[in-house]
Structure 1
């Protein structure tokens, strides 16, 4: 092999990269063609099946120096194929069932290229033009899906310069922060000489209203992003109160009510209740109607984090699982989860079009009063036009197509749950309500040992099972044939002790029943050779 080619920085070469595409026979053009013609084949062929340790991957990314000299595009493309693509995660694989990812519709890829090529900035109409009314329409569609207002409502508010029915954002974290930001500002609004928290700050607001603190009450299964929101908004993580769940992983509303009244008796105002529609760990849905009643009683904001489960509303057969969501003041939905859109497409919806008045902001050079600029009602400033891809999926897949995808995912989860129940050495830990479930490998002999064990012996067995489950999940991931994730729950059948379990998400329409059987078979084989099992659990067989 000869010496590496050296590129040169000049006016000519710089103009070239802005004006001339790569030649058809270049490395990058070949990659682009292969992705366009056969994305599945490209991913299967180029992502390494056997996992390379992260510390080995890091060796390719050690230098903190920005290169002085330029590089040919083809050379760079070859480098990223070897160093980046090869060691990416095959999230589209039908046997990758451990996280909230899936294969994407093929049409999304060229549309994404079009979106990047247009390079619109949704902060302002001057940098987005038609993308702004398109985004407002998508927010209107999703608002109608959740709240079902009549046509006159959307005619009045969808394209109003004064209000917004929601906000697109990078994902559920920013959506949840935005919802609670509005809840905080509405609670601590201007009154008399007090100009409002957005002008005078939290300390002045608390003094004016006479509160000793603010609190947000959520399920113990709530997403970690809500804790971030409490931190960012100045409420404090200690006042982000996680309320216990009952055996079906739904929040105990009576316990929540008791805690809320206790807090308010101490001078701590409950700012918001957050219901979860599709918990990250188990996919369960909180009793939203009961929570809405409690929020009404407490006169506080009711937010529903439906980042995962919100897409279920697209199925007429399953949307009743989310009964009560229409009573929420705000709702988070991630289109990059069960709506099959690439990462980076979250949104928050507001029942009241005037809710965003509480966070409205302007700047003379960019966000002027009276304009229809979306940036005046969003936390983020510059944003890409991800709403275009959501719009595409809503139009191309449609309600009927989404209903089929949602229903099949739920049916597949129920099938897998039954498969697990039929295996005497497996144990279903949480029943699927949506398309998530949790389970673990527990041989029948160990189940009998637990049943006959003393309390002290049980603790030892539980600890060994946790180590074994974590070990088996790691070994299955490293083998590269399939992937399930793991989490930690406190199920009643294990005396509410922290319990490591396998977690499965069955949203990928390409995952077959045969693959699910193969995954269980692989886990059986891994269990036989697991060193943790041999060391700590084999004695019970």
Structure 2
């Protein structure tokens, strides 16, 4: 079995096995003609369950053949131009190369003596990102597993800074008095984080949004004032730069002004909108982010990186101490005095992958402008898609896009002819269309609920998607919805 360990003696085995795997994936990518096969869970589950994991195949080629049957054949392929569903991006080749390297070397980024140059590369990328944001010379941060963890860590720091009795903050008697403010369109991880931090989900005050799904700053000011008046402690305001459902960007500069006025930690969840940091055309949509106390970025969304690749950035490096714990066997306090750079001092994780290498390779091969051009393309595509939807009587589109998301619903001819008047039936038609499209494998779209009604959603993160792709998918959606309503009318007659 030692022949399967990666070391100097097995280098040729490693080269052969990885090459064989890469060739299989490359062949699959080259021949995939739709984003999904439409396989049903009840069909795939028995195939996976039938595999006896205690009886190894003993051969790489055989294992890859089996993998083709249970995974590669039926995977959902984000690189396909008609995958239009969630915040999943096709990945750039330099990042995939970085992934291959980091897996093989298997550095752990918790301590210097496990990573050396990896530590310095991650730190340099944190500095680069902080510079792009404009956080200032005292900024710092650390890579994380994703936006949810980044938001959790940011709110942990905010909680510690706002704890009752801390200098410069309002006093109180309990954590139960702390309040977090986020728009009603913010990510669910804000409430989840509040629960994990002992505040309770009710500590999150939901601030109304305007017609463009951006936080209403007048409402925020009202809630902050009410919080103070009732003796509660404003802990943090979470502004979103790219909401999951709409891609909307909150008015960051106005929110920053209110946070300064009330002495509240400002966190910007830019998990989606961080691609604007590299944009050549739309960077101004992040105006005000430089005034944040902390920022979440997900490179694995709008920087076209493989999962996982995220980071949390802070204006004041000293606040990261709230995530620090010294263990004698890992990062004893003496290492701080000796200026040994242990990233675990900043992180909620201990063992941690060298995910920063993927972004490093991307920047060294493509440059930031190359990333920005790709993100600008999908933002431009979304605007074209919005114009198509707005001009098509079969569809009702909600918000003009700030980034690359479109939220809409099909309104078939049976509705405009008033043969169908029940809004719930229109909801069911749209839900049916989404399910039927997924089952066909011809395209994958997402769905959401707005004001109690079911809507469909395109999240456009593939620069290879064209207006023609969007038009074709819209025709498919309309066809499925009209079929459902036609069948429904037949059943009712």
TM over 0.5: yes
Give the alignment's TM-score, normalised by structure 1: 0.83
* Residue 144 of structure 2 is aligned to residue 165 of structure 1: no
Q: Which residue of structure 2 aligns with residue 188 of structure 1?
A: 163
Give the direction of change, closer, same or farther, for the CA distance of 1:376–1:479 in structure 2 (3 Å limit): same
Supply the distance in 2 between the matched residues of 1:285 and 1:537 (Cα, whole angstroms). Answer: 44
Which of 232, 238, 247 aligns to 2:196? It is 232
Unaligned runs of 5+ in 1: 1-12, 158-163, 193-204, 451-456, 491-497
Give the direction of change, closer, same or farther, for the CA distance of 1:188–1:417 in structure 2 (3 Å limit): same
Unaligned runs of 5+ in 2: none
Q: After superposing the two structures, state which structure 1 stretch, 60-69 or 384-393, moved more.
A: 60-69
Q: 1:25-72: per-residue Cα shift (whole Å, max 9, x none)? A: 98875332343x556216x17x88431111322223447986276744
Q: Which residue of structure 2 aligns with residue 321 of structure 1?
A: 285
Find the residue that maps to 2:73 and give its secondary structure: helix
Q: 1:209-236: per-residue Cα shift (whole Å, max 9, x none)? A: 4665211110111111111110111010
How do 1:266-281 residues align onto structure 2 when only pairs under 5 Å count?
266-281=230-245
Q: Which residue of structure 2 aligns with residue 374 of structure 1?
A: 343
Q: After superposing the two structures, state which structure 1 stretch, 260-269 or 499-508, moved more.
A: 260-269
* Residue 368 of structure 2 is aligned to residue 399 of structure 1: yes
Which protein shows a greater Rg?
1
* Residue 59 of structure 2 is aligned to residue 95 of structure 1: no
Q: Which residue of structure 2 aligns with residue 464 of structure 1?
A: 425
* Residue 477 of structure 2 is aligned to residue 477 of structure 1: no
Q: Which residue of structure 2 aligns with residue 199 of structure 1?
A: none
C-alpha contact (below 8 Å) 1:23/1:29 kept by paired residues: no
Q: Which residue of structure 2 aligns with residue 430 of structure 1?
A: 399
C-alpha contact (below 8 Å) 1:333/1:347 kept by paired residues: yes
Supply the distance in 1 between the matched residues of 2:428 and 2:265 (Cα, whole angstroms). Answer: 41
C-alpha contact (below 8 Å) 2:280/2:372 kept by paired residues: yes
Supply the distance in 2 between the matched residues of 1:176 and 1:366 (Cα, whole angstroms). Answer: 26
Q: After superposing the two structures, state which structure 1 stretch, 97-106 or 118-127, moved more.
A: 97-106
* Residue 462 of structure 2 is aligned to residue 534 of structure 1: no
Supply the distance in 2 between the matched residues of 1:84 and 1:34 (Cα, whole angstroms). Answer: 12
Q: Which residue of structure 2 aligns with residue 4 of structure 1?
A: none
C-alpha contact (below 8 Å) 1:489/1:501 kept by paired residues: yes
Q: By how many angstroms is 1:109 displaced?
A: 2.5
Supply the distance in 1 between the matched residues of 2:267 and 2:465 (Cα, whole angstroms). Answer: 33
Q: By how many angstroms is 1:178 displaced?
A: 0.5
Find the residue that maps to 1:223 and give its secondary structure: coil
Q: 1:362-410: per-residue Cα shift (whole Å, max 9, x none)? A: 1111113312100011101111111011112222222322232122111
* Residue 260 of structure 2 is aligned to residue 296 of structure 1: yes
Superposed CA RMSD: 2.9
C-alpha contact (below 8 Å) 1:292/1:324 kept by paired residues: yes
Q: By how many angstroms is 1:538 displaced?
A: 10
C-alpha contact (below 8 Å) 2:35/2:83 kept by paired residues: no
Supply the distance in 1 between the matched residues of 2:4 and 2:460 (Cα, whole angstroms). Answer: 46
C-alpha contact (below 8 Å) 1:26/1:74 kept by paired residues: no
Q: Which has the higher contact order (CA 8 A, sep 6+)?
A: 2
Give the direction of change, closer, same or farther, for the CA distance of 1:400–1:68 in structure 2 (3 Å limit): closer
C-alpha contact (below 8 Å) 2:280/2:369 kept by paired residues: no
Give the direction of change, closer, same or farther, for the CA distance of 1:400–1:50 in structure 2 (3 Å limit): closer
Give the direction of change, closer, same or farther, for the CA distance of 1:49–1:318 in structure 2 (3 Å limit): closer
Find the residue that maps to 1:215 and give its secondary structure: strand
Give the direction of change, closer, same or farther, for the CA distance of 1:66–1:522 in structure 2 (3 Å limit): closer
Q: By how many angstroms is 1:23 displaced?
A: 6.2
* Residue 19 of structure 2 is aligned to residue 32 of structure 1: no
Find the residue that maps to 1:107 and give its secondary structure: helix
Supply the distance in 1 between the matched residues of 2:18 and 2:44 (Cα, whole angstroms). Answer: 22
Find the residue that maps to 1:521 and give its secondary structure: helix
Q: Which residue of structure 2 aligns with residue 342 of structure 1?
A: 306
Find the residue that maps to 1:89 and give its secondary structure: coil
Give the direction of change, closer, same or farther, for the CA distance of 1:431–1:300 in structure 2 (3 Å limit): same
Give the direction of change, closer, same or farther, for the CA distance of 1:148–1:448 in structure 2 (3 Å limit): farther
Q: 1:134-189: per-residue Cα shift (whole Å, max 9, x none)? A: 0000000000000164xxx3xxx6xxxxxx70110000010000000001111228
Q: By how many angstroms is 1:122 displaced?
A: 0.2
Q: Which residue of structure 2 aligns with residue 41 of structure 1?
A: 30
Q: Which residue of structure 2 aligns with residue 116 of structure 1?
A: 103
Supply the distance in 2 between the matched residues of 1:68 and 1:190 (Cα, whole angstroms). Answer: 61
C-alpha contact (below 8 Å) 2:186/2:240 kept by paired residues: yes
Q: Which residue of structure 2 aligns with residue 130 of structure 1?
A: 117
Supply the distance in 2 between the matched residues of 1:186 and 1:24 (Cα, whole angstroms). Answer: 49
Supply the distance in 2 between the matched residues of 1:172 and 1:255 (Cα, whole angstroms). Answer: 26
Give the direction of change, closer, same or farther, for the CA distance of 1:416–1:471 in structure 2 (3 Å limit): same
C-alpha contact (below 8 Å) 1:330/1:348 kept by paired residues: yes
Find the residue that maps to 1:274 and give its secondary structure: strand
Q: By how many angstroms is 1:20 displaced?
A: 3.3
* Residue 57 of structure 2 is aligned to residue 73 of structure 1: no
Find the residue that maps to 2:479 and give its secondary structure: helix
Supply the distance in 2 between the matched residues of 1:275 and 1:168 (Cα, whole angstroms). Answer: 20
C-alpha contact (below 8 Å) 1:339/1:393 kept by paired residues: no
Q: Which residue of structure 1 aligns with residue 476 of structure 2?
A: 522
Give the direction of change, closer, same or farther, for the CA distance of 1:27–1:137 in structure 2 (3 Å limit): closer
